[in-house]
Structure 1
Amino acid sequence: MARRTERPVTRQKSHGPSTAAACEACRRLKMRCIRPTASDGSHASTESCERCKRNNRTCAVPPQRPLGRRPGAVGRYQGLQKASRRMQAELRKARVSTNSTHEVANMSSGDGEALDHLLSIIQNSDSNGEDTSSNQPTEAKTPAEQVQPPPMTATRVSDTYIPTPHASREPVSNPLALLADASDAAPPSPPIEPGQGEPSPGPGIGWRLLHQPGYISLELNLSRDSLETGLDALFGPSREPYRLQYFRPADTSPPRDVGPDLDPVELALISMEEAYTLFPIYFARLHPFNGILDPMLHTADYVRSQSALLFTWILALTAQFDQGSAGIAKRLRLHGEKLSRHVHTCGYKSVEIVQGYYISLLSATPARTLSEERSWLYTMYAVGVASELGLDQVSRLHHDPSATYPYSASGDVTNNAVPRQSLAPGPANPVIGKPHGDASAYHSTEDPTYLQRLARNRERTWLRILLWERANSAACGRMNAFPETELTRNIESWWMHPLADSTDKHTCAFILLRCHLASLHVELRRQAAVPHTDANWASRLINTSLEPWLKTWLPPLDAGLPHCERLPTVHLYHVYIHNRLWTLSFALHASINGNRDISAIQMDCFEAAVHCCEVAVHDLRTFGEPLYCMLAPTWAMISYAAVLALKLFPHVHGSRPRYQIELLALLGQVALQLERAGTTPSHRLGIAALLGQHLLRILRAKAAGLGDAFPVAESTEMPFETRAHDPMVSTYNPLLTTVAMGTQGDLTGDGFADLLGELFGPGEIY
């Protein structure tokens, strides 16, 4: 005994090698912690590591823990408790073995009684200890009442399954959902046991069941042997299971694109003070055109806690349109492009990710070359995520604010409805619904108003991403049908909700316009195959079909309203005239293929294209920089109208070059306005500038025939006097970046059509 006490205790003296301990941030990231060495050569430096210095955060090094086991440490369980737990562990191992059922079922009664006796002794000793401490009497329980072992056979599992009315809320027309529900409700099959796989002599159970009267015949054209084989498979031994978790429901809290390696604030790309400054600018300038967010919900703290992709792209695009944010615009844009690739590669799925892709696609900077454009890839991914999350379903929260999950109009729960618990403030989302400048305000997850805002946020996201995808599909002439859901069928009154945003009215107008265009597209295709006595049948049909929508959603503008209040309506009118031009061009294409007289349709298309160009020049000169936030499809359609007018002019007014002087003057002004819109502020390069450059090259090639009478200047720069007195003109010269944008080569012919085709898909430009 004396020898045991003299044994030295080595725990306090055992130290690891003299290496630098990693800080908490590096341990969490599982990255190497690089810290400068102290002056005495040791690693006990008090300076921050390189990663913490770079991210401007505190470098906390936890104290080292001594190696080895603490002297006198014992296990958690002792005596009979330890022996009982070992026996239970052995029984659990036997249960999952190949012959587990027979081993447990054939356990002798003596072994079972001994185990129950041990368990009763343990629980009685525990209860006695509790009585001693609390001096309260306890009722004596039998071992059967104290220990309720889990069910061991398939029969007992099936007895505990009780279907509920809410066990399956998926519609009957969803095949995979019904299969998943049936898979979850099915009890586990017993495993194969030795000797069970061998066929038994004599007739099987399938033969015996089919020869018993009482079942209903379905008049199947199958042999009796095939039916017997099917029944034998049901009652025979099950095969080795594989991928049993295939239909496992998704996690209620799926991983999000947040963290120190994704957050631009943690990466020191921007500070929260700058973010608080840029968010109001976004909702004042870009939100009237984007219309996918809720200003009362999407505050800087809330968005940051939900998605780094959405948070970064909001800041990046706002910095591009802000005169004083040139220093952070480029690094935020590069970080946003990195996050777009990272989110797509990792497969993150959330409502905020769909919103982040939508915002990034509408006003993003063009890629260096056409081959590097990923807009179509991200569009398809965003639409797929929105469909998988069930954003196209009407939320039941509009009618039942006490509902825990978003429901569809028929009462069916959506596939990935977010429970209230995942919306509560916590470590993952510390601030929800905090208004600008108010760090103490929080939204309660029990607040019906807040839950309805979340429901409308889902519906608004689906409507906007659907509009973006349908517009691109229609522009390339591939798919023109508009999907009809419960949400789109009742869209007329969706914007009248008490919690509706000011942009929701225009969202409804866009959806209804797209629905009218889908039905009009079918009617035009039918009418193009029929001879008409009226040469202007196409324009009359289009005007008659769109006139109700025009009267309802585009009333005459009040000239007394401020420009900021007139901008959404101006943008809506641009979308209307562009879609009318697109519909006329479709009728022209159908008439050309049908060998019809197309002179009248050519005139209608030409006049519509010229009207689009005239309105664009007028509005851009009138409203100036606030209108430069229009979306990428709007700039592309303006360029399309200019190219279409240029190509249709010889068929309408003749091919003499001098006839085109006024048209070239109009289109030249269009090109200048596009270039100016894409380079304001000077640190920004938008798609409008790229389109304006290529349009200007096309016009200069067309004007080459007028060189004798009207020599064309070599420089495309505006006069210095005009630039000096116009604050909207950028000093940035995008023509100096031809290498970066990859615009080498002649785009005066089909190259411009290829450019529009890359933006909207492989469509045809007439």
Structure 2
Amino acid sequence: MSDRMAPKSDTDTREEERLAACFNCKKSKLKCVRPSGSSTCTRCTQRSIQCSAPLFHVGRHKGVKNSDSKHSGLEKAVFQIEQALRRSSSGALDQIQTADQATELRFLLERSREILGSDNGFSRRISSQNGMEHDQASVSPQQTSTSLGTSPSQTCSRDDSAVHTKVEEDQLSLDDAENPLQLLARTSELLSSITPQMQGTGAGRLLSKSTSIRGAAGEGDDLQKFFGRFQARLDVGEDLDPIELGLITLTEAETLFSYFYEKLAHTRWGIDPVIHTVDFVRGRSAFLLTSIAAASALFSPSMESLYKRLSNHRQKLAGLIMSKRYKSVEIILAFMVNIPWISAGEHWADDETSTYLSMALTIALDLSLNKVILPPSTEPRSPRDTIATSDCISARKALGIDGFIDIDPDSPRGRRLLRRRERTWLSLFVLERGVCLARGRNYVLPMSPLIENCDQWHLSDIADRWDGSIVSVAVLRRDLANLISKVRSICDSYVNGNSELSVVDRVKNEITLFFDRWYQTWPLQLGDREQLSLPPYVEILASHTRLSLYSSVINHGTAPVGARHFFRAAGLSSALNVLRVAVQGEGQLRSMPNNTAIMISFAACFALRVSTVADGRSSSLAPSIRALIAETTDVLERIGSTPIQRKGLSCLFAGQLRQILKYASRASETAQALPELNGDVTKHASIYTDLNAAHIANHQGAIQMPVASSNLPPDYLLFSTMSNENQLDEAIHSTDIGLNAFWEDFQFQSADLDWMDWSTFST
């Protein structure tokens, strides 16, 4: 009797205190009381409901207050698996979609419990930043019990830096397990890292037994391979390397790389000449090596045969990468290098631009290029500290994905390798937005924190020469969608009772403020500091972005008439500015990408549509617009046909623009007699030749025309000689072009390739 009445020992009391609370009590945040020897708590017994609890108590580490950081390493994996299985059993299939997934999770859970339940003195620390295992200097029973949630007083003391590193690693260990596949992969990774240390131990025998239950001996290895850590797969080898195959010599490759960085890098951003040397690229991607060499050979005279060999090999590598699923940052760059100068197909929609772009985006997301790289803990706090953990990746893990496990993230080389990832993502964003604007496609590339906070990214001690250009266009295209929404919202307020004058003023102020802020910032950082001018390629992109804005709202249903007048005049000014910059900057646009040729052609069609409508109103501006379009057509043709192997897309657009100029001229002859401008555009060839010679000699600033005034029609305005957009605005507003009319047939609202319906210009 005395034995039954004996008080419980301290050990028994501690064991009872360490019983895990059931899920019902934990959900209600109530104390879970279970009588000795009972598997059901008092509260569940009273309510007659099922009582289930974890098999072990998951304790809180000392000093950790964040509920997301209670568990670390394998404990965290076990806890998340139990939570997922519990939700699946209750019918909430938010993470577990199939019975096979639940079975796999239960199997992993049993293995984890066996490992955690075995007390054989082992302990491992998993680093989430570099994905590698680190042995502890000494493993004691006290340290082992600490990892299982025992009292902190039983553990050895550690210095503050070690504790900080441990907590940081624990917080990142499984935070990105947002779906069952990732949860399985991360748990398998933890288990596989522990397995080698357990061979021959009791836990190892338990693990072998559980593995044998799963089936054949090789099945476990297959699972570990499938759920293993993701790493880049490089397209390298003697059968892929163009140098090894004899297509090009090492000396030729180095020469072509130098040509690329000197002549082409200003129109194809994303590649760092310090990092991407011939040796580095050769060891990372045969596709990128071939692509850079082929691009340089495309623009180099007397290299027609070399270009053909390289382009054929490049096409073979592209197909191989898609079928073999090779993935690396350099492969993304290779796709981006090819997109600007892809050969035209049988139809404007037949080229491989969209295919290459989708492949680049898929690989970029697989490599986590969209995630913000966490700076070292020694750096001061920055806006990145407020970004969600799921949108971040540690510097060491990012390098590990790329295969640079031994590179220190804080070293100069490590910083450049990490920055190349960010540069690639920003360049891909700019390219994808440009392709969608030019080809009338919906945006696909997601907005990420890196893009949202990139305004100062180019200000770095390891910045590339063209980083500022990347950021300037990224910021412009990032904010364009918000500006269009604001303008449409202001126009909608007119229906709600606001006066037309106030709506027009608000629209003008919103647009003016947006572009003035941009033009006040970037010319100073990118262009000529004395003239505050942008590089021609960046200025064309900026002008076309402005034109895209006006073409998107020009037919907005709720816009008052005054707002539409403003959209037409401002849109015409932007279109003429695109053409002006193309003519004046021909010398710097020899490597004009296909997208830019499409943008220029879009601007020409926009301006031509305006001039076609204005012909019926005796406008003196229409012949001047057509003269500028004719000059631009000559520029497009020269750029697209030099050198002989180029055969650029701009040649096709130039030919088609000539055809619609003839259609427009014939319509003009019917409306009003214009003997100076008939269907034969070549009558002005001598004038255009003199103009282009002057533009090539001096592409910036006002140009003094060497053409005698007697050779020019008296009502011509020489737009191509104007120095800036302000002069274009003044010329447009001082000339009657019929902008005040209501044009029901002016359909550029979608700003897509519907503008290429050339038949509309023949009537």
* 1:533 has 2:494 as partner: no
Pair 409,670 (structure 1): closer, same or farther in 2 beyond 3 Å: same
Partner of 1:345: 323
Give CA-to-partner distance per residue, 1:247-300, whole Å, 9 cap, x none: 944456643212233222222221111111111111011112222011111011
Q: After alignment, is 700-709 or 350-359 more displaced? A: 700-709
Structure 1 residue ranges without an equivalent (≥5): 1-151, 189-236, 426-443, 730-749
Partner of 1:675: 637
Pair 455,761 (structure 1): closer, same or farther in 2 beyond 3 Å: farther
After TM superposition, list the pairs within 5 Å mapping 1:32-71 onto structure 2: none
* 1:281 has 2:259 as partner: yes
Pair 761,496 (structure 1): closer, same or farther in 2 beyond 3 Å: farther
Is the Cα–Cα contact under 8 Å of residues 516 and 546 in structure 1 kept in the other structure?
no
* Greater helix content: 2
* 1:326 has 2:304 as partner: yes
Instruction: Tell me how far apart the structure 2 counterparts of residues 289 and 295 of structure 1 sit (CA, whole Å).
Output: 15
Instruction: Tell me how far apart the structure 1 counterparts of residues 631 and 652 of structure 2 sit (CA, whole Å).
Output: 15
Q: 2:623 aligns with which of 661, 664, 684?
A: 661
Is the Cα–Cα contact under 8 Å of residues 674 and 688 in structure 1 kept in the other structure?
yes
Give CA-to-partner distance per residue, 1:424-464, whole Å, 9 cap, x none: 89xxxxxxxxxxxxxxxxxx778810011100011100110
Instruction: Tell me how far apart the structure 1 counterparts of residues 411 and 301 of structure 2 sit (CA, whole Å).
Output: 40
* 1:517 has 2:517 as partner: no
Is the Cα–Cα contact under 8 Å of residues 609 and 644 in structure 1 kept in the other structure?
yes
After TM superposition, list the pairs within 5 Å mapping 1:96-111 onto structure 2: none
Pair 613,170 (structure 1): closer, same or farther in 2 beyond 3 Å: farther
The 3-state SS of whatever aligns with 2:489 is helix
* 1:455 has 2:418 as partner: yes
Pair 382,482 (structure 1): closer, same or farther in 2 beyond 3 Å: closer
RMSD over equivalenced CA pairs, Å: 4.6
Is the Cα–Cα contact under 8 Å of residues 609 and 641 in structure 1 kept in the other structure?
yes
Instruction: Tell me how far apart the structure 2 counterparts of residues 761 and 629 of structure 1 sit (CA, whole Å).
Output: 23
TM-score (norm. length: structure 2): 0.58
Instruction: Tell me how far apart the structure 2 counterparts of residues 306 and 153 of structure 1 sit (CA, whole Å).
Output: 38
Pair 370,662 (structure 1): closer, same or farther in 2 beyond 3 Å: closer
Instruction: Tell me how far apart the structure 1 counterparts of residues 694 and 614 of structure 2 sit (CA, whole Å).
Output: 39
Shift of 1:577: 1.2
Pair 636,398 (structure 1): closer, same or farther in 2 beyond 3 Å: farther
Partner of 1:579: 545
Give CA-to-partner distance per residue, 1:72-101, whole Å, 9 cap, x none: xxxxxxxxxxxxxxxxxxxxxxxxxxxxxx
Instruction: Tell me how far apart the structure 2 counterparts of residues 712 and 306 of structure 1 sit (CA, whole Å).
Output: 55
* 1:265 has 2:265 as partner: no
The 3-state SS of whatever aligns with 1:292 is coil
* 1:184 has 2:184 as partner: no
Is the Cα–Cα contact under 8 Å of residues 657 and 706 in structure 1 kept in the other structure?
no
The 3-state SS of whatever aligns with 1:395 is strand
Pair 416,687 (structure 1): closer, same or farther in 2 beyond 3 Å: farther
Instruction: Tell me how far apart the structure 1 counterparts of residues 687 and 302 of structure 2 sit (CA, whole Å).
Output: 24
Partner of 2:520: 551
Q: 2:661 aligns with which of 696, 699, 702?
A: 699
Is the Cα–Cα contact under 8 Å of residues 394 and 486 in structure 1 kept in the other structure?
yes
Pair 490,556 (structure 1): closer, same or farther in 2 beyond 3 Å: closer
After TM superposition, list the pairs within 5 Å mapping 1:130-149 onto structure 2: none
Is the Cα–Cα contact under 8 Å of residues 185 and 229 in structure 2 kept in the other structure?
no
Partner of 2:400: 419
Identity, in percent, stands at 24
Shift of 1:650: 4.0
Instruction: Tell me how far apart the structure 2 counterparts of residues 696 and 413 of structure 1 sit (CA, whole Å).
Output: 55
Instruction: Tell me how far apart the structure 1 counterparts of residues 468 and 308 of structure 2 sit (CA, whole Å).
Output: 34
Q: 2:179 aligns with which of 172, 175, 179?
A: 175
* 1:644 has 2:610 as partner: no
Instruction: Give the aligned residue type for 2:477.
Output: R
Instruction: Give the aligned residue type for 1:669.
Output: E
Instruction: Give the aligned residue type for 1:450.
Output: R
Pair 264,673 (structure 1): closer, same or farther in 2 beyond 3 Å: same
Instruction: Tell me how far apart the structure 2 counterparts of residues 479 and 343 of structure 1 sit (CA, whole Å).
Output: 26
Is the Cα–Cα contact under 8 Å of residues 232 and 402 in structure 2 kept in the other structure?
no
TM-score (norm. length: structure 1): 0.58
Instruction: Tell me how far apart the structure 2 counterparts of residues 486 and 613 of structure 1 sit (CA, whole Å).
Output: 35
Instruction: Tell me how far apart the structure 1 counterparts of residues 374 and 756 of structure 2 sit (CA, whole Å).
Output: 37
After TM superposition, list the pairs within 5 Å mapping 1:375-394 onto structure 2: 375-394=353-372
Partner of 2:335: 357
Partner of 1:147: none
Instruction: Give the aligned residue type for 1:584.
Output: Y
Instruction: Give the aligned residue type for 1:516.
Output: D
Shift of 1:610: 2.0
Partner of 1:68: none
Pair 597,462 (structure 1): closer, same or farther in 2 beyond 3 Å: closer
Q: After alignment, is 308-317 or 529-538 more displaced? A: 529-538
Q: After alignment, is 178-187 or 288-297 more displaced? A: 178-187
Is the Cα–Cα contact under 8 Å of residues 170 and 414 in structure 1 kept in the other structure?
no
Shift of 1:394: 2.5
Pair 332,594 (structure 1): closer, same or farther in 2 beyond 3 Å: farther
Shift of 1:719: 7.2
* 1:316 has 2:279 as partner: no
Shift of 1:352: 0.4
Q: After alignment, is 240-249 or 392-401 more displaced? A: 240-249
Instruction: Tell me how far apart the structure 2 counterparts of residues 549 and 711 of structure 1 sit (CA, whole Å).
Output: 41
Q: Please identify the structure whose Cα radius of gyration is greater.
A: 1
Partner of 2:32: none
